[in-house]
Amino acid sequence: MKIVITGVTRGLGRALAEWYIAHGHTVVGCGRNGSEIFDLRFTHPEPHSFDAIDVTEPIKVEIWAERMTGLHGAPDILINNAALMNEPAPLWKVSPQEFSKLIDVNVKGVANVIRVFVPAMIEAGRGVIVNLSSGWGRSADANVAPYCASKYAVEGLTKALAAELPEGLAAIPLNPGIINTDMLWRCWPGEAATYPTPEEWAAKAAPFILTLNRSHNGCSLSVGSDA
């Protein structure tokens, strides 16, 4: 399969990319860290493709997508993984700049990527769009209001998209669960080490994503749930 992953340079995105490549799939990925992108290119040459792209820049995302679909065709699976976490604090102490940056990546970035890849998927008549949500997109907690707001938005955006897609395509908001990532260390430094690593998580999540299809369109799923 041809799989597009955003936020591919670290954490869950990197773990998914490594698993899919190891199991014979073609991965197209983007991330903001140029040195990590170079490392991915060196480690995983063609047919895989990795580019330094900021998903908040719609024109650059569009150019990247046009080039990738020209080379590889429409993706079978599009995984919107790129996301930021706010520095934990009460909402009134989160600066406007930090709030806006998080929304730009977590919500607008998802829309930017969908806007440029989904038309090719519609033309091909197939494909699954997986937008990574969060437990904090279905519940809430103190000190992470911006992140909660963004993931609730991802849930709503994905369900609306699901209602718009033609037969053959599906859009699914997917809660990855709690994983030992840098993001978790910012929120729960005392507990983060007790959760699975991204690599351990990907061993379960990556094959789970491969099972998703039109029958799951618009369903809020979690890794490990019965798909």
Residue range 188-222, pLDDT digits in tens: 566 666 677 899 999 999 999 999 999 999 999 99
Q: In this structure, what CATH number is given to the domain that contains residue 190?
A: 3.40.50.720
Distance CA 81, CA 173 (A): 11
Which of 94-101's residues contact partners 24+ apart within 8 Å by CB, and which partners? 94/145, 94/146, 98/146, 99/146
Confidence of residue 177 (pLDDT cuts 50, 70, 90): confident
- Domain presence at residue 50: yes
- Domain presence at residue 227: no
Question: Residue 174's beta-bridge partner residues?
Answer: 132, 221
pLDDT tops 80 at residue 67: yes
Residue range 3-51, pLDDT digits in tens: 999 999 999 999 999 999 999 999 999 999 999 999 999 999 999 999 9
Please state the φ and ψ torsions of residue 130, each to the nearest 5 degrees. -115, 115
- HEC string for 75-128: CCEEEECCCCCCCCCCHHHCCHHHHHHHHHHHHHHHHHHHHHHHHHHHHHCCEE
Read off the amino acid at residue 96.
P
**Total domain count for the chain?**
1
Range of the domain at 170: 2-222
pTM more than 0.75:
yes
Please state the φ and ψ torsions of residue 171, each to the nearest 5 degrees. -125, 130
- Domain presence at residue 112: yes
Read off the amino acid at residue 11.
G
- The verdict on whether 147 is a catalytic residue reads yes
Task: Decide which of 5 and 224 is more confident.
Answer: 5
Please state the φ and ψ torsions of residue 13, each to the nearest 5 degrees. -60, -45
Q: Which of 20, 147, 152, 195 is catalytic?
A: 147
Distance CA 75, CA 116 (A): 11
Distance CA 67, CA 118 (A): 14
- What pLDDT was estimated at residue 178? 78
- Domain presence at residue 194: yes
Distance CA 199, CA 223 (A): 14
- What pLDDT was estimated at residue 58? 98
| H-helix or E-strand spanning residue 4 | strand 2-6
Residue range 101-149, pLDDT digits in tens: 999 999 999 999 999 999 999 999 999 999 999 999 999 999 999 999 9
Please state the φ and ψ torsions of residue 172, each to the nearest 5 degrees. -135, 125
